[in-house]
Amino acid sequence: MGLTMASAMSLAGCVATATPQHVAGLFNCAQLNQAVASAANGFDDIKGPLSETRLTRSWNTDVQAFHEACVITSAQRPDHYDCFGRIDIEDPERAIAIASEELGQCLGGDWKAEMAGERVMYRSQETDAVVTLETFINDRHHRVGTLSVFQKEADAQTLPDGQQDA
């Protein structure tokens, strides 16, 4: 689904088919906007304690935009902000549409969405930062989402099959 089609989806059309708990409060908009603003300086102002493994570096953060499960990570991509959590909407197309609509409301009218499958990418001409939301079924058969803020659009591109950003 292209940028204009995703933008053209009306909130009323998405919300009318969802129960209020699915769309109300999925994201903490103030925290999300703080993470987006922090992308310009490599998230330095929101990085907490560093944890390093052989393959990754990650920083805890008090900025929690989604399910209180957010970190700043660096592995196969430059430093980026990642949040993980369950999305209790079983239909993948409906889940991403509903979550994307709320994400767009958090980001504001300057941001434009481009949807591809179970992934949506938001861009704004006001910043180099890019916000993505992806949904998938995990190994426990729960629909989960990954909300990410990248410093640049090139960093947000999907990794080739078989590669994961840990």
Taking residues 139-148, report their average pLDDT.
Answer: 88
Distance of alpha carbon 68 from alpha carbon 90, whole angstroms: 21
Boundaries of every domain in the chain: 3-48+55-156
Q: What is the average pLDDT value for the chain, to the nearest integer?
A: 81
pLDDT score recorded for residue 35: 98
pLDDT of 110 strictly over 60: yes
Name the more confident of 136 and 164. 136
pLDDT bin (cut points 50, 70, 90) of residue 92 is low
User: Cα(first)–Cα(last) distance of the chain, in Å?
Assistant: 28
Beta bridge partners of 77: none
* % of the chain surpassing 90 pLDDT: 54
pLDDT tens across 51-87, in order? Answer: 999 989 999 999 999 988 999 999 877 899 999 998 8
Strand order in the sheet with 80-86: 50-52, 57-60, 70-74, 80-86, 143-150, 130-137, 119-124, 111-116
